Structure 1
């Protein structure tokens, strides 16, 4: 397995990229995760979420109008064939240079591996406690049904677990299994790799938190009809 460290050497068919983006104020980003609303589509209230879509124009991120999220059951057996709606990412967060760095870094890979100029950014907090395990990927090992996926870790607080794995197929051993630490960015071709992040559990009976941005190119819109 090749592991690409720069997008200039990235092969969309064979590689995944694992990077650390320097000079990002993670504490500033983490602040905005405290304002997320619980995911209404999960019975257990351990996940909190916002979603916005963007285009890149002249190396600047342009926010697109509000829209919905849709995946078929082929890709999401848990919440597939449901038109979902989430609040938009807060404008104050979008204005941060730290946020723009993440989106623009992902867009460079999208230019190599996708014909789309649309990037969806999912802002997700998964929590865990003494009485509740947190499931970052309750749908199991899966694909998203897009060209490219990026997972940027913002924060891990008082947790164990949360191992992110990539697989060539659901029946093969993983080609990568790693805890993504704050500041690390994993980018991969969704058509080439299945992915999964294992459950998180709380340390010392305290509230545990995992904050990530999940970026996709393109977004996942409902069918036109």
Structure 2
């Protein structure tokens, strides 16, 4: 596996909406994310602390033990954030060939994290970005805290391969990397040949994806030192109009 890391082509905050509209994705540097939310480092560290308590994913069909996660749902309508009753995560096979069609019931996010003021600010701010892209309306949000580790010697952030999620917007927050190599993000036109590749390394940098226009994947991670555990933490949010998938 190559250790080369292509830097992410970040855009300034005032270019976020234009980048999403013109190329189908936008990358925001961590310092700009903190201004955008707004949030300070201590608030974001308090939220990220919950990633040390993620249960193992019991639904991996490739037999792996490299993914830990939770899952909760919310409805975001302007500045209003309401947590929805806990439900299974479901995707159709056309969007997830590996795990589609399964009712996957994960443990919910910890109540103390959901209660943090920064959590609601984060959900509403991303909601503003998707409103600028699709029009003002309520959004049905699924939140996925992920830790991919090297327990098996290799960890797969996207075991389903390059994919779309069947939503309107996908937000991928890079929370942190610990003693790993790999994990290159790849974004491609859904209906064309163009694409970009880059490695997210900066804690709380952000990748926004117009799910109708692009497909995405992340390459596997490996430990920097053989035999030493490493991991990659992300928060993935999906925003969908009209309802949650599977309703």
TM-score normalised by the chain length of structure 2: 0.81
2:153 aligned with 1:145, yes or no? no
Map Cα deviations across residues 9-66 of structure 1 (whole Å, 9 max, x no partner): 4543634221122223343233211111111111211101111111235624221111
2:146 aligned with 1:124, yes or no? yes
Contact 1:33 1:211 in 2 (8 A): yes
Q: 1:71-90 maps to which residues of 2 (within 5 A)?
A: 71-90=91-110
Whose helix fraction is larger, Structure 1's or Structure 2's? 2
Aligned to 1:163: 184
Provide the secondary structure at the position in 2 that maps to 1:119. Answer: strand
2:74 to 47, 50, 54: 54
Distance 2:126 2:85 in 1: 20
Aligned to 2:230: 208
Distance 1:81 1:140 in 2: 16
In structure 2, the CA distance between the partners of 1:75 and 1:57, relative to structure 1 (3 Å rule), is: closer
In structure 2, the CA distance between the partners of 1:15 and 1:58, relative to structure 1 (3 Å rule), is: closer
Contact 1:24 1:183 in 2 (8 A): no
Distance 2:155 2:209 in 1: 24
Distance 2:77 2:222 in 1: 41
Q: Over the residues paired in the alignment, what is the CA RMSD in angstroms?
A: 2.4
Give ranges in structure 1 of 5+ residues lacking alignment.
none
Map Cα deviations across residues 167-211 of structure 1 (whole Å, 9 max, x no partner): 014873523423242110110100100000111111123111111
Aligned to 2:204: 183
In structure 2, the CA distance between the partners of 1:58 and 1:15, relative to structure 1 (3 Å rule), is: closer
Aligned to 2:13: 5
Whose strand fraction is larger, Structure 1's or Structure 2's? 1
Give ranges in structure 2 of 5+ residues lacking alignment.
1-8, 35-39
Q: Would you say how many aligned residue pairs link Structure 1 and Structure 2?
A: 222
1:112 to 126, 132, 137: 132
Contact 1:5 1:18 in 2 (8 A): no
Contact 2:75 2:138 in 1 (8 A): no
Distance 1:27 1:216 in 2: 22
Contact 1:149 1:190 in 2 (8 A): yes
